Amino acid sequence: MLNVYFKGLTKKWKSIITPALIIGLYVIMIAGIWPALKDQAEAFQFILDNPIYQSILGNLAGSMFTTWEGAFYLYIFVWLEMVIVFITIFTPTRLVTNEIDKKTLDVALSYPIPRWRYLLEKYSVFLTYNLLYPIFILIAGYFGTLALRPFDPAASMNYTLLFVASISVWLYLFALGSLSILVSTIFLDSRKSLAVAGSLIVGMYLLVRIGSAAESINFLQYISIFHYFSAGNIMENGGFLVGEFFIVFGFGLVCLIAALWIFQKRELTY
């Protein structure tokens, strides 16, 4: 039972956890240089008022860079969105297409379980390891803030808000990863899957940035998943955004169910 899942957990685990570990170390590094950055924070805050930067950063542009918490959100979650884009394009699409490229899919599907369950267990490994992102962010954020106190007594962090923002990271990985899985089950070709998944995910990322640049095209951001339950929205509203959570989760769930159904029903010709 769950043989595919447990086998996946022990396979290439070092390469899987490395990005999450790097993010955790990056948080600690930011905490280390914050005392020096704080002296120039007001100048940086002036730059962030530029409309170009505001369109790039979205709601995170409203973070007060002059505070440790505001700087934390800007430095960490802006980079995390780019990491999410990269990971969800290249990792989930290869869960199936990699087996096809190596011509080992028939062997992989020889487990006495339905195809959909095989794919679900493979994808569950991806989702399980992605839980390390919120965990490492919370741990590094907590200890980074503690380490700052001797140098900046005003340094503080709303850990409840940080927890909710960290959930958004995993939720994006789930939703966009499910989209990539769906694309890969439709095309069953690594190049086509990467091209289509990349176009869709990068397109949504750009839509939310372009849409926030001007009022006349503001409607564009509403068709992007990145517009909902983002760290910027969470920080701006100061709590858990139930409606936006279910929009992102629902999108991911629909994509995942569709991918499982297609993989189970379609004739695997490759």
Taking the C-alpha atoms of residue 40 and residue 38, their distance in angstroms, rounded to an integer, is 5
User: Domain total for the chain?
Assistant: 1
| Angle at the Cα of 177 from the Cα atoms of 174 and 180, rounded to 5 degrees | 155
189-215 mean pLDDT: 88
Specify whether the CB–CB gap between 90 and 184 falls below 8 A. no
Percentage with pLDDT > 90 across the chain: 39
pLDDT at res. 72: 84
Q: What is the mean pLDDT of the chain?
A: 84
pLDDT at res. 46: 60
- Using alpha carbons, select from 161, 186, 159 the residue that is nearest to residue 96: 186
pLDDT at res. 54: 61
- Does residue 132 belong to any structural domain of this protein? yes
200-227 mean pLDDT: 84
Question: Residue 194: which pLDDT band, with cuts at 50, 70 and 90?
Answer: very high
DSSP 209-268: HHHTT-GGGGGGGGGSGGGSS-HHHHHHHTS--HHHHHHHHHHHHHHHHHHHHHHHHS--
Q: What is the pLDDT of residues 215-237, one digit of tens each?
A: 667 788 889 999 999 988 898 88
Phi and psi of 110, rounded to 5°? -80, -5
- Does residue 270 belong to any structural domain of this protein? no
245-258 mean pLDDT: 98
- Does residue 58 belong to any structural domain of this protein? yes
Domain coverage including residue 194: 3-265
Which one of 17-21, 35-39, 63-67, 263-267 scores highest in mean pLDDT?
263-267
Q: Between 32 and 162, whose confidence is greater?
A: 162
- Does residue 234 belong to any structural domain of this protein? yes
Residues 6+ apart with CB under 8 A from 146: none
Ranking 108-117, 119-128, 155-164 by mean pLDDT, the lowest is 108-117
Is a pLDDT exceeding 90 seen at residue 257?
Answer: yes
Which one of 7-21, 50-64, 133-147, 191-205 scores highest in mean pLDDT?
191-205
DSSP the chain: --HHHHHHHHSSHHHHHHHHHHHHHHHHHHHHHHHHHHTTHHHHHHHHTSHHHHHHHGGGGGS-TTSHHHHHHHHHHHHHHHHHHHHHHHSTTHHHHHHHHTT-HHHHTTSSS-HHHHHHHHHHHHHHHHTHHHHHHHHHHHHHHHHHTTT-TT----HHHHHHHHHHHHHHHHHHHHHHHHHHHHH--HHHHHHHHHHHHHHHHHHHHHHTT-GGGGGGGGGSGGGSS-HHHHHHHTS--HHHHHHHHHHHHHHHHHHHHHHHHS----
Q: Which two tokens stand for residue 263?
A: 């993989």
- Does residue 15 belong to any structural domain of this protein? yes
Cα 155 to the chain's mean position, in Å? 27
pLDDT at res. 84: 93
- Does residue 78 belong to any structural domain of this protein? yes
